[in-house]
Structure 1
Amino acid sequence: MATLAEFTLPLDAFPLGVVCEEFPDATVELERVVPTADAMRQYVWVEHVPAESIATFLESQTDTAGVKLVDQVDDRTLFRYHSDSDGCGVLEALVDSDTTLLSATGTRAGWRVHVRGDVQQAVADFDERCRRAGVQPTLRDLHATVGTQPSQRTAVTDAQREALLLAYANGYYADPRETNLSELAAEVGISRQAFARRLSRGYRTLVESHLALPTADEGVS
């Protein structure tokens, strides 16, 4: 039975905790984390701090491999951030314990994270592996997903989500286009054909989930 857990973690549990140390009013929300062979790619929302200030600060960090502004809504800014891969104890704990990071929000007080394990033992393993890595998690909530109904909408996979976000961030949808499928595929280390299929399946899933025509039973309004 799947189990949901909420933990609080110290600010240095994730590398981007330095943003909250530098800007006490900032709120950092990890949108997507993609560990690769030589770097860690992260999509991260930052609130309550000017985008230029965040970009300048991140670019000044010694482990920063790249920063790009992707989107901006009011005082929320979405960045794609690359850092040199020195490892992250929490991310390694997630992988080793077979748990899924549902959300991670950081403030000056620390990180609040929500994880899901297919079984309760996975959550316990996550806690133990964090401690082995020198991170001290505090469990705030734990419950099984009893009585929940699976969504009738099909969600994009992590790989499809990464492809869609990467294409958007690099200007694939711009007019004129600022990149091509070969360049995008090279960035994630797969073939052009494989990336094109991943992008196509992501499109199809989004259309079927959110834009598909109603069935005959549902009727048309």
Structure 2
Amino acid sequence: MIVIADISVPASQFPLGRVLEAFPEVEIELERLIPLTEGVIPLIWVRDADADAIEATLGDDPVTESVRRLTRVGQRVLYQVEWTLGVDGLVQSFIDSEAQVVIGEGTATVWDFRLQFQSRGDLETFRASCEEKDISLSLRRLYNPALPENSQSLSERQSEALMTAYRAGYFEVPREVKLSDIAAEFDISDSAFSQRIRRGSSALIAETLIPEFGRRGGRSDSIPWG
């Protein structure tokens, strides 16, 4: 059964935390973490920062092989960073336990992650790996996802619409893009895209937030890591 854990770690115990030491006002969002046989590639969004300075700092890290600036959306820049196999610590614990990083966000002091594991055994593998590496973890929430009765799960189209809108800055205050501009990318009307966003948001809330979800899906409360 799938297990989802929300954890926090000190920024110093995650490689990207070193970037924020020099840029304490910058927030980084981990888009994806791709393990490879020859290394690891994180895709990261950096907001409200000097792109050249961030790129240089990322490139100077001892475990960094290369850095590529992929795109800019408003005040956010997407980078592809290739790490060598020398990267260890928390990243290796992700790989050892086959954890899927659903959310990863960091500041100069702390990184928050939502991790998905295929089983409780994989979660225990992750925990043991972190303990062996003296990684300080704070477990904020642990639960087994299961949809409420009569609820529809998030569809692939809804997920794509929500992620595209999010990355484009549609949910920022103030908004960085118009609904019509995103709808044009999908070649559908504004109304159709708006409905897709609303239905996707409803499904996402049903899966993650409403009380019935926690009761039907298992543990959904804050608990100590132990």
Structure 2: which amino acid aligns with 1:80?
Answer: Q
Alpha-carbon distance in 1 for matches of 2:158, 2:116: 16
Q: Structure 2: give runs of 5+ residues left out of the alignment.
A: 160-185, 189-226
Higher alpha-carbon deviation: 98-107 or 55-64: 55-64
2:50 equivalent to 1:47: no
Change beyond 3 A, Cα 1:152–1:56: closer
Structure 2: which amino acid aligns with 1:130?
Answer: C
2:12 equivalent to 1:9: no
Match of 1:107 in 2: 107
Alpha-carbon distance in 2 for matches of 1:118, 1:65: 31
2:152 equivalent to 1:153: no
Alpha-carbon distance in 2 for matches of 1:97, 1:143: 17
Q: Could you say what secondary structure the match of 2:129 adopts?
A: helix
Match of 1:90 in 2: 90
TM-score (norm 2): 0.62
Higher alpha-carbon deviation: 67-76 or 141-150: 141-150
Deviation per CA, 1:35-88: give whole Å up to 9, x if none: 333332221111121111111222333333211111112221101112322032
1:28 CA displacement = 1.2
Match of 1:80 in 2: 80
Alignment of 1:147-186 (within 5 A): 147=147, 149-153=152-156
Q: Structure 1: give runs of 5+ residues left out of the alignment.
A: 157-209, 213-221
Higher alpha-carbon deviation: 107-116 or 120-129: 120-129
Structure 1: which amino acid aligns with 2:93?
Answer: A
Alpha-carbon distance in 2 for matches of 1:44, 1:75: 14
1:154 CA displacement = 7.5
Deviation per CA, 1:150-203: give whole Å up to 9, x if none: 4443799xxxxxxxxxxxxxxxxxxxxxxxxxxxxxxxxxxxxxxxxxxxxxxx
Change beyond 3 A, Cα 1:5–1:67: same
Change beyond 3 A, Cα 1:94–1:61: closer
Alpha-carbon distance in 2 for matches of 1:61, 1:138: 26
Alpha-carbon distance in 2 for matches of 1:95, 1:57: 25
What CA RMSD, in Å, does the superposition of the two structures yield over aligned residues? 2.6
Structure 2: which amino acid aligns with 1:47?
Answer: R
Match of 1:142 in 2: 142
Structure 2: which amino acid aligns with 1:153?
Answer: E
Match of 1:117 in 2: 117
Structure 2: which amino acid aligns with 1:105?
Answer: E
In 2, are the aligned partners of 1:6 and 1:139 still within 8 Å (CA)? yes
In 1, are the aligned partners of 2:45 and 2:77 still within 8 Å (CA)? yes
Deviation per CA, 1:80-108: give whole Å up to 9, x if none: 11232203222322232233221211101
2:129 equivalent to 1:126: no
Match of 2:216 in 1: none
In 2, are the aligned partners of 1:14 and 1:88 still within 8 Å (CA)? no
Change beyond 3 A, Cα 1:60–1:152: closer
2:35 equivalent to 1:35: yes
In 1, are the aligned partners of 2:100 and 2:117 still within 8 Å (CA)? yes
Alpha-carbon distance in 2 for matches of 1:35, 1:117: 16
Q: Could you say what secondary structure the match of 1:146 adopts?
A: coil
Q: Could you say what secondary structure the match of 2:41 adopts?
A: strand
